[in-house]
Amino acid sequence: MDLKIMLKELLPFQANTWSFFLSSVVLTIAGTILLYIILFYILRSIFRKFERDIALVTLNVSAYPVLMIFILGVLKLTFHQLPSVKLIDGIENLLAAGLIVSISYWLVQLFTQVFIYYLRGYTQETESMWDDVLLPLLEAVVPVIVFTLTTVFVLKSFGVDLTGIWVALGGATFVIGFAAQGILANFFSGVVLLIDTPFQFGDVLLLENGSIAMLQKIGVRVTQLYIPSKHCNIYIPNSTLQSQNITNLSRPTSYYHYSTDMKLPIALNVQEAKHVMVEVIQAHPDTLGDIDLKLAQIDCYYQLKGLENQQKIGKLRLLAEQEVNFKLEEITPALEALVVTLQFAEKGGMTNEEIENVQQEYREILSAIGLEVVTEIYGNRSVFTLKENRSKDSLIELIRNWYRIYIRDFHLLDNDSSILTEEWERKINLLKRRVQRLYQKISNPQSEETRLDDYVMELNRWLRERFKEPRQKWQEPQVLIKGIENSDAITYVQFNLNFFVDDIRLENGRRGDRVSSQIYEEVVRYLKQSATEVIESNATITLQGENTNS
């Protein structure tokens, strides 16, 4: 019976209709073969010559979906031209559904394998945090939205009435939204935290309850924090975290102010004890302070067994940082001089000679940074790129030498070396991108010649404030006398020791505790040793006096 119905449906087919159908199939096969050759041989051989692989990856992701879309699209157009009968319309609907599914699959693959993949590499080089969270969120949500819309369009292609479904979904959405108020509040609180960006991943936070925590992840509903003192993770709802008063100990820098109390018998020389405390803090390689003073005093303290490596590596690290500071002190005045040159040249418009002078002056700054201009010819077009010159006395190489010495400190934990390496390599990449953008503007200043000085000042300000902040006077250690205390018939002088630890993120946030303990121990050792020497000296003098009298 079914066979008879099918034959009746096919009766309207005339000879010319069959001819059109067969010719369309032949053209589809021929077009598919030609497209296959173009995608898998011609374009692949061309894209392999490109320096970046984004074109080749896009081709690999797109090849089979494009072939499928081409085949289904041509067949759908073919069946659309045929007489309208139930069987033909059913096949056309199936082809339309397959076409929708193929396009959706292709879009999702392009989004996840190309867009998200390469954008993730870009976000790792940026200073903002929201994009690091937004990308995983988009990666999870966008495919769901695309496939949901795909299902809707596929059902519509088969003529399914979706009115009742939309009404049901609307009611269900209202009920779910009412029941999930807390979840939605946490979600939008997380979005607000990301937009305001009061934190970055790895920042050390002081919570309202006095706990010190390291930010690890801001999720859709909760924020993940690590508590170093308890070696555990805690999960705080985003809405709760947003309502708290939180101190970010890592902003504006990762320097951490540490304060500790100490009391000594008043019988000791108070001024001398205070002087020793200041020098002990200055001599510690992990505290901030004038590098020249630290280098002058580091050999006088921390002679205890087991600290030889700390003293040796600390001294090398301070010397390496000093070289970095010297290079920055060379670059920042050069940028200021370039600003003056640009301000004079911008008056009345820049001539070709002035542009060449500015470019030459900027090339000298680039050389000090560790970059050189490389010209590449693409057809009739010249493209300027910046590449590292690998000069040992350049800023980039001095930075790398500094952090490589830094990670040799035996106090650092396994993940600390990656923290330092990733941070400074990210900053180096940011520096390279900034100076390259500025070079492109200087090379073609016609459109923005009056703003070049502003761009140079912005780069100079970023170097001082975001790349590496110079050591300041307010970071010097301070020792204050708080008062006098009587205990067990002994009078003590109370001292308050204040200093900055170089990086609170290291050693699981316990770097300040370790440094404070070593300073306390060294002060006690040194004063005890001094007191012993005084006692022995007085005893020797007394003995010599007795011998003389006798």
Q: In angstroms, how far is CA 526 from the centroid of its own chain?
A: 43
Q: In angstroms, how far is CA 129 from the centroid of its own chain?
A: 7
Residue 20 predicted with pLDDT over 70: no
User: Please, what CATH class does the domain formed by 183-248 belong to?
Assistant: mainly beta
**Given pLDDT bands bounded at 50, 70 and 90, which one contains residue 82?**
low
Average pLDDT along the chain = 78
Looking at residue 547, its pLDDT comes to 40
Residue 312 corresponds to which tokens in the numbers above?
A: 């040796």
Looking at residue 299, its pLDDT comes to 83
Mean pLDDT, rounded, for 174-189: 56
pLDDT digits (tens, 9 = 90+) for 470-500: 888 888 999 998 888 887 778 888 999 999 9
Q: Are 261 and 482 in contact (CB under 8 A)?
A: yes
Of residues 420 and 28, the one with the higher pLDDT is: 420
**Given pLDDT bands bounded at 50, 70 and 90, which one contains residue 362?**
very high
How many helices (H) and strands (E) the chain has is answered by 18, 10
CATH code of the region 256-290+474-538 = 3.30.70.380
pLDDT digits (tens, 9 = 90+) for 309-347: 778 888 999 999 999 999 999 999 999 999 998 888 877
Nearest-angstrom CA–CA distance, 135 and 109: 15
**Given pLDDT bands bounded at 50, 70 and 90, which one contains residue 161?**
low
- What angle do the packed helices 352-369 and 395-406 form, to 10 degrees? 20
Of residues 211 and 411, the one with the higher pLDDT is: 411
Mean pLDDT, rounded, for 362-389: 82
The domain limits of the chain are 15-160, 183-248, 256-290+474-538, 315-470
Percent of the chain clearing pLDDT 70 (strictly above): 74
Of residues 287 and 76, the one with the higher pLDDT is: 287
Looking at residue 542, its pLDDT comes to 39
Of residues 314 and 193, the one with the higher pLDDT is: 314
Looking at residue 168, its pLDDT comes to 62
Of residues 216 and 128, the one with the higher pLDDT is: 216
Residue 541 predicted with pLDDT over 50: no
Residue 418 corresponds to which tokens in the numbers above?
A: 């990656």
Residue 256 predicted with pLDDT over 80: no
Looking at residue 539, its pLDDT comes to 44
Mean pLDDT, rounded, for 428-432: 91
SS3 472: coil
Mean pLDDT, rounded, for 165-192: 59
Residue 436 predicted with pLDDT over 50: yes
Residue 487 corresponds to which tokens in the numbers above?
A: 């205990």
114 C-beta neighbours (distance < 10 Å), count: 17
Residue 418 predicted with pLDDT over 80: yes
Torsion of CA 28, 29, 31, 34, to 10 degrees: 170
pLDDT digits (tens, 9 = 90+) for 31-70: 889 988 988 888 888 877 776 667 778 888 888 888 888 8
Looking at residue 331, its pLDDT comes to 95
Nearest-angstrom CA–CA distance, 328 and 339: 17
Nearest-angstrom CA–CA distance, 550 and 543: 11
131 C-beta neighbours (distance < 10 Å), count: 16
Looking at residue 171, its pLDDT comes to 62
Nearest-angstrom CA–CA distance, 242 and 486: 46
| 183-248 and 256-290+474-538 in the same fold | no
